[in-house]
Structure 1
């Protein structure tokens, strides 16, 4: 692993654990017992957090940036299995079952910050701490929901509908509505990442975003995406909007 471990004070780790989605429901005394097993890691884009086949000996929580899980395909390219953003915990099933990771994990954004907690003491505490057991169960259900969302994206139909489904998934997970009525998704993803996730050619995804940019529907910034109307995206996904340009490009 090429990540940079950040050496921080105990109180910083305690605050990070207390505000993380995975551990925030635990009381202070229980969090204090977890602190010695926790660490913060920072990666730059393209750096690997773990490799397929590595024993899943830690729980992970994404604090900032996006983590991508990739698995080698039969050809020269890799398949993008999933993306995990702030608050989400990747590979929960493998960690709970003490298995090995089934995919490689890379930083998908310019920087990535990860909270990592040794699994062995957590799995021991789960046997006696109900709140911790419930927390890991919620994380497992969240992981299942992400996989179902990926299936929904791939099953959406034409490319522009798959991209619309993907954008709506990002809105659901990370979007915030601004005072101007627009929705902001603070995840800076390349067209290549989007194309791999939705199972399409990069050129087709570029044309889709270019059309949306001209229409004022979705704008791309250095910080992520700005969506004028999620209702319009839902209409595209449902096929209730006439969009010959997108249909032709798909």
Structure 2
């Protein structure tokens, strides 16, 4: 397996362990729309993303509404939420931009953690950061108004996907996916986006969104 500087696994493993990674890891390429694994499926292993973007989502609430938990990017890990006593994936991972990732089995990952102390240490830091983000997202879900959630989501999406030369956010996310990431309904999203267009806070052309007044959006987060 060709080593990749974005690969979390290779980056923090010992030089003498790289041959073992090459032997045990396989490279997978996924097209947009591909489901890498589904919620409640048995954990088979872990994916270390080299390139592309993945939405991590799960069923939420009494109506089983789809909620986007996070977007995983190059350098991130997929499947780590299934590490532990309950060996089932608690989330679904769906490709939104073509992905290349290396895959290792759960057994090899456990062995690798025992051998590579720096990798184990950085996994602890990774989990701690994930937990902090999850706790913050839960607080936001409870205490933020619908408009604040949407402002927060748009600003995060802009940071994750970047903008083109005209300033439009470079994402292919649907309106429903934006609503799922914001933790609100499509109807609320549609209504609020139209209000923000009239107020000059954003501009919309087809699926693309441009944030015209970031200060006003950030003021909603206070």
Q: TM-score if structure 2 supplies the norm length?
A: 0.78
Q: Which string of whole-angstrom CA distances, capped at 9 and with x for unpartnered residues, describes residues 135-165 of structure 1?
A: 2223212321331242143134321111112
- Supply the distance in 2 between the matched residues of 1:22 and 1:219 (Cα, whole angstroms): 41
1:99 lines up with 2:83 in the alignment = no
Match in the other structure for 1:234: 218
- Supply the distance in 1 between the matched residues of 2:15 and 2:209 (Cα, whole angstroms): 37
* Deviation of 1:20 (Å): 2.7
Task: Compute the RMSD of aligned alpha carbons.
Answer: 3.3
- Supply the distance in 2 between the matched residues of 1:29 and 1:217 (Cα, whole angstroms): 54
Unaligned runs of 5+ in 1: 1-9, 239-250
Match in the other structure for 1:124: 111
1:187 lines up with 2:189 in the alignment = no
Q: TM-score if structure 1 supplies the norm length?
A: 0.70
Equivalence map 1:163-174=2 (5 Å): 163-171=150-158, 174=160
Contact 2:27 2:100 in 1 (8 A): no
* Deviation of 1:225 (Å): 5.1
- Supply the distance in 1 between the matched residues of 2:43 and 2:36 (Cα, whole angstroms): 12
Equivalence map 1:1-250=2 (5 Å): 10-11=1-2, 14-15=3-4, 18-21=5-8, 23-36=10-23, 37-45=25-33, 47-62=34-49, 63-71=51-59, 74-75=62-63, 77-87=64-74, 88-97=76-85, 99-107=87-95, 109=96, 111-171=98-158, 174=160, 186-219=170-203, 226-238=210-222
User: 1:19 aligns to what SS in structure 2?
Assistant: coil
Contact 1:44 1:110 in 2 (8 A): yes
Judged with a 3 Å threshold, the aligned counterparts in structure 2 of structure 1 residues 185 and 32 are, in CA distance, closer, same or farther, namely: farther
- Supply the distance in 1 between the matched residues of 2:101 and 2:207 (Cα, whole angstroms): 19
User: 2:28 aligns to what SS in structure 1?
Assistant: strand
- Supply the distance in 1 between the matched residues of 2:169 and 2:18 (Cα, whole angstroms): 31
- Supply the distance in 1 between the matched residues of 2:106 and 2:62 (Cα, whole angstroms): 32
Judged with a 3 Å threshold, the aligned counterparts in structure 2 of structure 1 residues 178 and 110 are, in CA distance, closer, same or farther, namely: closer
- Supply the distance in 2 between the matched residues of 1:96 and 1:221 (Cα, whole angstroms): 45
